[in-house]
Amino acid sequence: MSAKIQQPAYVSHERGDRTAPKRSSRTFHSLTQLLRKLREIVESDLLPPGDTLVDYGCANRPYEWLFKTKFKNYQGADLPGNDRADLILGPNGELPCPDNSVDCVLSSQVLEHVYAPRLYLAEAFRVLRPNGSLVLSTHGVWPYHPDPTDYWRWTIDGLQLQIRLAGFEIVAVKGVFGLESSALQLWQDATYERLPAVCQKPYTWFIQTLIGLIERRQPDKISNDASVYIVLARKTPAVAQMNVADSVASEARTISEDVVRS
């Protein structure tokens, strides 16, 4: 018996405001640092302004307000079932956008949930105009967190390799947390549920305070053991597209034939 892999359905639940986490949140410092570093990218000359941005896996569109300071037309794209999405993805995650029609693709904490990262990155490449930008963040060291699935973790080298293989040029790389903070985050998440409910918020506050103190020492250091990596990449000239197109076609064939054997 075998069955084809099916694209998971969108999971509708309260995701909160990722740009304004509560001080007692278990992800307070990871979210505040992620926002700070995304803001640095948006406010820098490395990310050119443009007309259209597609948030590829937009969920509740947490960074719309930030990126609309640089892109006039923000379009959220997501799986069927997300009523906040302007664009609905196809069965293999295809964007309903013409080739070379978008100035920027934003992918925030999505890649770890994508069952075919190569196809996802190739699709981002396809819809971008020449010299268009990809802003992508995803997890390095982090606990399992399905939404609705959770497939991957990335090293700093592996993530950049996959982005380059899709045809992109890496412009900048940023990281959230070093090894000490990543270890504390994992310890907090491993022990939180074992505590009485009355102790959980003070415990989280204490651990997050320690992480904050550690991160203040070297706030812009890029660790090989970061919890989150943020990559700014640019679509290379059209000469690279022939190889990318071949890669996309091959990946699509593999996806369509892939099965789960039972």
Q: For residue 178, give the nearest of 37, 30, 32 by alpha carbon.
A: 30
Domain of residue 239, residue span: 33-178+227-257
| Amino acid (one-letter) located at 165 | L
| Least confident range of 42-46, 137-141, 217-221, 246-250 | 246-250
> Quick one: pLDDT at residue 219?
86
E strand or H helix at 232, and its extent?
Answer: strand 228-235
| Least confident range of 99-103, 172-176, 219-223, 246-250 | 246-250
How many structural domains does the chain have?
Answer: 1
The two three-digit tokens of residue 237, written as one number:
């000239």
Domain assignment present for residue 192? The answer is no
Domain assignment present for residue 60? The answer is yes
By the 10 Å C-beta count (0-12 exposed, 13-18 middle, 19+ buried), 160 is classed as middle
In the predicted structure, residue 7 carries a pLDDT above the cut 60: yes
Domain assignment present for residue 5? The answer is no
> Quick one: pLDDT at residue 5?
56
Between CA 55 and CA 229 the distance in angstroms is 17
Domain assignment present for residue 184? The answer is no
With cut-offs at 50, 70 and 90, classify the pLDDT of residue 111. very high
E strand or H helix at 242, and its extent?
Answer: helix 241-257
Domain assignment present for residue 87? The answer is yes
Do residues 105 and 128 lie in contact, with contact meaning Cβ atoms separated by under 8 Å? yes
Domain assignment present for residue 16? The answer is no
CATH at residue 76:
3.40.50.150
E strand or H helix at 132, and its extent?
Answer: strand 128-139
Place of tokens 């992800």: 27
Between CA 204 and CA 221 the distance in angstroms is 24
Q: Which residues make beta-bridge pairs with 174?
A: 230
pTM to 2 decimal places: 0.88
SS (H, E, C) 48-108: CCEEEEEEECCCCCCCHHHHCCCEEEEEEEECCCCCCCCEECCCCCCCCCCCCCEEEEEEE
Domain assignment present for residue 242? The answer is yes
172: Cβ contacts below 8 Å, ≥ 6 apart: 41, 46, 231, 232
Between CA 106 and CA 229 the distance in angstroms is 14
Domain assignment present for residue 114? The answer is yes
| pLDDT tens column, 122-177 | 999 999 999 999 999 999 999 999 988 999 999 999 999 999 999 999 999 999 99
